[in-house]
Amino acid sequence: MESLGPKRVRSRTTAASLALRAPLERLYRDFDYAGRVERDAIRFPLRYPDPRDREVVALLTACLAYGRVDLFGHALEGVLAAMGSPWAFIRDFDPDRDAERFRDFIYRFNRPRDVVAFCVAARDVLARHGSLEKCFIAGDPDPAGPIGPALERFARAFLEADLRGVFPGGQRSRGYRHLFPLPSAGGPCKRLHLFLRWMVRREPPDFGLWTSVSPARLLIPLDTHVENMSRAIGLTRRRSRTWRMAEEVTSRLAAIDPDDPVKYDFALCHKRMSGDCRDRRDLVVCGPCGLRAVCRHWKGRRG
Ligand code: SF4
């Protein structure tokens, strides 16, 4: 079989991305964000108007955002209720005095001591840097470069915090380690990218609080819904949901909007999550879909 040279591969990629531009832009522009925000994890940090509260709640929410929103949301509600003002609570956190407040917390891999460890690590990060954004910037080796190295150091700031008072012997629990996936492990790190999308992107529903990080550097928060949609419209052919897949999907989207490639994430994710896409040819569901012309389930078929 004839092998394609890099130039031809690149030109095919660009042509495919250009074909996606109009339908994706329409999806982004016309999507009913208000109707879906309350079903999304973003609703938790959105409740907090003070940027300091919003920043720490966004990180805690994103860390716990594995599984269905209603399930982790129920556990998160208890933690947030115990905190009052989350930023002030974390700033003054004393595990001997405050750990008891989380005694009823349980969510899949996570137990009360994982929340206590989060509060201790976040308290020390805030004391050292002043904000999570400043911590991220301090570990960013190249503000114009890929986001991976900065995200790695940010996650390590929490993983390598002094937690001897929480984990006797210094061995972090599996649940705590699960809160902070490392880019160097090769996984998609969806929850950390979701946190960055919330903090960095300037347009709603995202917050745009981290003005020192460019949205052009973000990678797509690749969950199962975005993975399915990405395959359906040809953003990737990879089989495994990995960091490389997130890079590939993002680079295709960057060919459409290099300044803000992950702006399509919310709409793509919720289109699939809401049942407006079943990841198969369905005459009723696909009928009004604006992505039909670029969808692999409809390629070569007349609508
Ligand atoms: S055409 Fe159908 S399967 Fe394809 S993206 Fe749209 S709703 Fe999903």
**Domain check: are 202 and 295 in the same one?**
no
Q: What percent of the chain has pLDDT over 70?
A: 94
For 148-202, the pLDDT digits (tens) are 999 999 999 999 999 999 999 889 999 999 999 999 999 999 999 999 999 999 9
Longest dimension (CA), the chain: 69
| Cβ neighbours around 197 below 10 Å, total | 24
DSSP alpha helix (H) spans, 84-211: 86-91, 95-98, 112-129, 132-138, 148-159, 174-179, 190-200
Range of the domain at 45: 33-218
> Which of 231, 269, 270, 291 is the best mutation target for the ligand 1 pocket, counting ligand atoms within 8 Å of the beta carbon and taking the most?
291
Residue 118 has pLDDT above 50, yes or no: yes
User: How many domains are there within the chain?
Assistant: 2
Mean pLDDT to the nearest integer, 119-146: 98
**Domain check: are 251 and 187 in the same one?**
no
| pLDDT band per the 50, 70, 90 thresholds, residue 54 | very high
**Domain check: are 148 and 133 in the same one?**
yes
| Distance from residue 21's CA to the centre of ligand 1 (Å) | 16
| Distance from residue 42's CA to the centre of ligand 1 (Å) | 25
Cα gap 296→27, rounded to integer Å: 17
Nearest CA to 266 among 71, 36, 68?
36
Q: Provide the mean pLDDT of the chain.
A: 94
**Domain check: are 11 and 48 in the same one?**
no
| Distance from residue 286's CA to the centre of ligand 1 (Å) | 5
Residue 1 has pLDDT above 70, yes or no: no
The secondary structure of 116-127, three-state, reads HHHHHHHHHHHH
Considering the entire predicted model, what is its pTM? 0.93
| Cβ neighbours around 123 below 10 Å, total | 19
CATH number at residue 229: 1.10.1670
DSSP 8-state code for residue 235? S
Task: Tell me which residues have their CB closer than 6 angstroms to ligand 1.
Answer: 232, 277, 279-280, 285-286, 289, 291-292, 295, 297-298
**Domain check: are 26 and 92 in the same one?**
no
Here the tokens at position 231 are 């395959």
Among 178, 196, 218, the domain-final residue is 218
Residue 263 has pLDDT above 60, yes or no: yes
Here the tokens at position 244 are 């490389």
**Domain check: are 214 and 148 in the same one?**
yes
Cα gap 193→67, rounded to integer Å: 16
For 198-256, the pLDDT digits (tens) are 999 999 999 999 999 999 999 999 999 999 999 999 999 999 999 999 999 999 999 99
Which is the closest atom of ligand 1 to the Cα of 229? 5
Among 191, 218, 245, the domain-final residue is 218
Question: What single-letter amino acid sits at 201?
Answer: R
